[in-house]
């Protein structure tokens, strides 16, 4: 799946550019290095990959049908609230819109500048190519551009002047499971508290699938908790990660290249 795609560089005077820039600079929980660096857009490029778009449309259609046929097995709230899950689910609901039971949102995927071509051609990769992920195997995205930018920098302090990239994608979700510390974390055999969907849970690599019956995980994370599920999901310093199990649930739409500059 994937292949050839078209690109169109947007000018900063274009309304389309401005809409993307608004999303890119939208406020979110503060990253620790924000007071030392500012982000400057280098370029915004619109992407059109007809094969990925067709796969995305097919996935939306199949999810609509699934939710009609299997309502009893593929429904909202098929989890017990633990004092955190409903709060996390509501965070997702604030950024997604729903049509025929299918949720759609715009979310960012942070990557190295060298990975952009592959993502535009084939879509964001599943993390299993490197590891199994902290919150289950799949494609990882976030509605917060600044957080995606931190991933583009490897969650390390950014290098001033280096060019980083984030990809703004359409994402489709059917049944979403909120991953929370109260329910989905435990101390494993190594004595380490981890998410039970973490590929490292148990001390050896064992890639974990998403929770059965769900096509996405949503996690509210905090930098103070090492970007793990937040202990205080109602706190102000909370960010979001969404993990989708099928690459067809994601289609790249814009590539934003940017630099960090010292304040």
Domains of the chain listed by start with CATH number = 6-262 (3.90.228.10)
The strand ranges marked E within 117-192 are 139-141, 163-173, 176-179, 185-187
Task: Give the dihedral sign, CA 191/195/201/202.
Answer: positive
Across 28-32, 53-57, 166-170, 210-214, least confident range: 28-32
Q: Taking the C-alpha atoms of 13, 14, 15 and 20 in order, what is their torsion angle to the nearest 10 degrees?
A: -100
pLDDT (mean) for 186-195: 91
Distance CA 165, CA 129 (A): 19
244 has pLDDT over 90: yes
- Phi and psi at residue 229, in whole multiples of 5°? -55, 135
Q: What contacts 74, CB < 8 A, 6 or more positions away?
A: 66, 67, 174, 175, 213
* Mean pLDDT within 132-144: 91
Cα separation, 225 vs 34, in Å, equals: 18
The C-alpha atoms of residue 234 and residue 220 are separated, in whole angstroms, by: 9
Average pLDDT of span 232-236? 88
Q: Would you say the pTM of this structure is higher than 0.85?
A: yes
33-79 tens-digit pLDDT: 677 889 999 999 999 999 999 999 999 999 988 877 765 445 566 78
pLDDT at 216 over 90: yes
Cβ neighbours of 209 (radius 10 Å) = 12
Per-residue DSSP letter, 115 = G
- Rounded to an integer, the average pLDDT of 79-97 is 94
Q: Are 145 and 95 in contact (CB under 8 A)?
A: no
Q: What is the average pLDDT across 94-103?
A: 92
In this predicted structure, the answer to whether residue 131 has a pLDDT above a threshold of 70 is no
Q: What is the per-residue pLDDT across 106-125, written as a single tens digit (0 to 9) for each?
A: 999 998 888 999 999 999 87
pLDDT score of 126: 66
Q: What is the mean pLDDT of residues 237-250?
A: 94
- Residue 38, CA distances (Å) to 32, 44, 128 in order: 12, 17, 32
> Any alpha helices (H) in the chain, and if so which ranges?
15-24, 50-69, 85-95, 116-122, 145-152, 181-184
Q: Considering the chain, what percentage of its residues have pLDDT values greater than 90?
A: 65
CA–CA separation, 104 vs 121, rounded Å?
Answer: 21
Q: Other C-beta atoms within 10 Å of 153: how many?
A: 18
| pLDDT tens-place string over residues 144-183 | 999 999 888 887 888 899 999 999 999 999 999 999 999 9
43 phi, psi to nearest 5 deg: -160, 155
Neighbours of 114 (CB within 10 A): 8
Which of 18-22, 71-75, 188-192 has the least mean pLDDT? Answer: 71-75
**Nearest residue to 226 via CA among 249, 193, 187, 257:** 193
As a whole number, mean pLDDT of residues 191-211 equals: 88
Residue 139 and residue 144: Cα distance in Å, rounded?
A: 16
The Cα 77–Cα 244 span in angstroms is 18
The fraction of the chain above a pLDDT of 70, given in percent, is 93
Residue 72 confidence (pLDDT) = 47
User: 70 or 255, which is more confident?
Assistant: 255
Has residue 233 got a pLDDT over 60? yes
């Amino acid at each position: 799946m994937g292949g050839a795609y078209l690109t169109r560089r947007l000018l900063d005077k274009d309304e389309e550019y401005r809409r993307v820039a608004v999303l890119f600079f939208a406020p979110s929980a503060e990253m620790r290095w924000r007071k030392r660096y500012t982000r400057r857009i280098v370029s915004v490029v619109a992407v059109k990959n007809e094969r990925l778009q067709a796969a995305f449309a097919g996935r939306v259609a199949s999810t609509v049908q699934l939710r009609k046929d299997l309502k009893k097995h593929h429904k909202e709230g098929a989890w017990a609230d633990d004092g955190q899950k409903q709060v996390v689910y509501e965070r997702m609901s604030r950024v997604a819109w729903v049509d025929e039971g299918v949720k759609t949102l715009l979310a960012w995927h942070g990557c190295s500048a060298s990975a952009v071509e592959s993502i535009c051609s084939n879509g964001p990769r599943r993390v299993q190519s490197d590891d199994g992920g902290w919150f289950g195997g799949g494609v990882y995205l976030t509605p917060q551009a600044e957080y995606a930018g931190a991933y583009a920098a490897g969650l390390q302090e950014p290098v001033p002047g280096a060019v980083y990239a984030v990809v703004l994608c359409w994402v489709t979700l059917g049944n979403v499971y909120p991953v929370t510390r109260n329910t989905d974390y435990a101390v494993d055999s190594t004595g380490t508290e981890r998410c039970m969907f973490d590929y490292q849970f148990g001390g050896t690599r064992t890639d974990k699938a998403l929770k059965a019956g769900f096509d996405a995980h949503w996690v509210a994370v905090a930098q103070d908790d090492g970007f793990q599920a937040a202990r205080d999901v109602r706190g102000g310093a909370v960010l979001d990660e969404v993990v989708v199990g099928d690459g067809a649930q994601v289609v790249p739409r814009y590539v934003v290249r940017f630099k960090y500059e010292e304040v």
